[in-house]
Chain A
Amino acid sequence: MHELAITQGIVEMIVERTESARVTAVYLRIGKVSGVVPDAVRFCFDLVADGTPVEGARLEIDEPPGRARCRTCGCTFDVEGIVVLCACGSADVEVLGGDELLVRAVEVV
């Protein structure tokens, strides 16, 4: 459940960056191969935000799919699931996208 620590980091960073302004919405990007489960972040968010300027904020998460390039056969492919493996059988791949873990923006009042 590293999502608890991750979510704590997100809320702390937002409070610092917005200088404790009241936050009404948080926009995250959690890629499909980032190793972080969006539902677990949603589960932790209210708990962690409680008592901070982020309390009650709406949480929106976009989840870009994994994209990778195979160094063996050169093809580019979508990654299904968390195992990054080319259809040719090679695991020697470069992840091109879907590993993002970002706080994109917040709305403050």
Chain B
Amino acid sequence: MCTTCGCDDAAGPRFTAFGHGAGRGHGHDHDHAEPAPLTVVLEERVLARNDLLAAENRRLLAERDVVAVNLMSSPGSGKTTLLERTVRELATHRSVAVVEGDQETLLDAERIRATGCSVVQINTGEGCHLDAAMLRRGLDELDVAAGSLVFVENVGNLVCPALFDLGESCRVVVMSVTEGADKPAKYPHMFRTADLVLVNKLDLLPYVDFDPDLCTERIHRINPTAQVLLVSATTGEGLAPWYTWLREVEIDD
């Protein structure tokens, strides 16, 4: 049956998957006018839905006096090692929970669970970032206690997570000396929105060609207000200012 006018022609093959579009002729032996397309003005921001959900997350977190830290980095920069150490340090005097994001596996969640901390793993499958809806489900699963500190370990990726507001209290980018000092210049979107940049694997500095001053300068060329801390999650060097920074994060209202 013709999906434009409803006429029927029993003879010949039928292809019903597509309607007749404007400008697409068809071979019936009769005439009928194609409907003129109607322009509908939408003017809607593409990320509006995510931003709305992020605002809802922010409100819920503030209600429960919960600080959420969105940790973003490339794969292998040491986020999970940093979290293992940070959770062990802070969990003695504060309720801490972790939302883990990875494309596949429960490996990171198992490492965090071994510290005794509550954790939920989100596997994004084909997805390359966490979004506000995923964080909401993660938070619901965790049933976070009032006054908690929640770390959200985003999918390892210096590109995509930058665009998605999760409703977090602050954004921390982790990079490592083995990645090179050029990363802030190469991935400016990620570094532009960071409140803090942790330059990790300081223990490997003697073995690599990495200039910490140049790296800090490049970060500040993109984001003049970002704080930069040099740390080693493996040895613990430089982590005291990170713990202080975490204690001072304010909750958005």
Q: Which residues of A contact B (CB under 8 A)?
A: 1-2, 4-6, 9-10, 13-14, 17-18, 22, 24-25, 28, 35-36, 55-56, 82-85, 89-92, 101-109
Give complex CA distance A14, B163 in Å. Answer: 21
Name the distance in Å between A107's Cβ and chain B's nearest Cβ.
Answer: 4
Is B189's CB under 8 angstroms from A35's CB? yes
Interface range on chain B: under 10, 10 to 19, 20 to 34, or 35 or more? 35 or more
Given contacts A2-B164, A35-B163, A36-B163, contact A82 B189 (CB under 8 A): yes
Describe A's contact surface by its main secondary structure.
Answer: mixed
Residue pairs across A and B with CB atoms within 8 Å: the count is 102
Q: Please list the residues of chain B having a beta carbon within 8 angstroms of any beta carbon in chain A.
A: 18-19, 21-22, 34-50, 126-129, 131, 159-160, 162-164, 185, 188-189, 192, 220-224
A6 partner residues in chain B, CB cutoff 8 A: 46-47, 163
Name the B residues within 8 Å of A103 (CB-CB). 42-44, 46
* Cα of A84 to Cα of B222 in the assembled complex, Å: 7
B162 touches A35 (CB 8 A): yes
Contact of B45 among A1, A5, A101, A108 (CB under 8 A): A101
Which B residues are CB-close (under 8 A) to A28? 46
Partner of A2, one of B19, B22, B34, B128: B128
A106 to B50, Cβ gap below 8 A? no
Contact of B22 among A9, A18, A24, A106 (CB under 8 A): A24
Question: Which A residue sits closest to B24, measured CB to CB?
Answer: A56
Residues of B near A85 (CB, < 8 A) are: 221-222
Chain A residues contacting B34 (CB-CB under 8 Å) are: 109
In the complex with contacts A5-B131, A24-B22, A108-B223 CB distance below 8 A: no
**Nearest B residue to A33 by beta-carbon distance?**
B189
- Given contact pairs A91-B223, A104-B42, a sample of 4 additional A-B residue pairs in the complex whose CB atoms are under 8 Å apart: A13-B49, A82-B188, A85-B221, A92-B224
Residues of A within 8 A of B223 (CB): 91
Q: Determine if A24 and B21 form an interchain contact, defined as CB atoms under 8 angstroms apart.
A: yes
Contact of A107 with B37 in the complex, beta carbons under 8 Å: yes
Asked whether, in the complex, the Cβ of A9 is within 8 Å of the Cβ of B47, the reply is yes
Task: State whether A105 touches B222 (Cβ < 8 A).
Answer: no
**Please, could you name 10 A-B residue pairs with CB atoms under 8 Å apart, sorted by A?**
A10-B46, A17-B42, A18-B40, A35-B163, A56-B21, A103-B44, A103-B46, A105-B39, A105-B41, A106-B42
Quick check: A109 and B22 within 8 Å, CB to CB? yes
Query: When the two chains form their complex, are residues B46 and A108 in contact, meaning their CB atoms are under 8 A apart?
Result: no
A residues in contact with B42, CB < 8 Å: 13-14, 17, 103-106
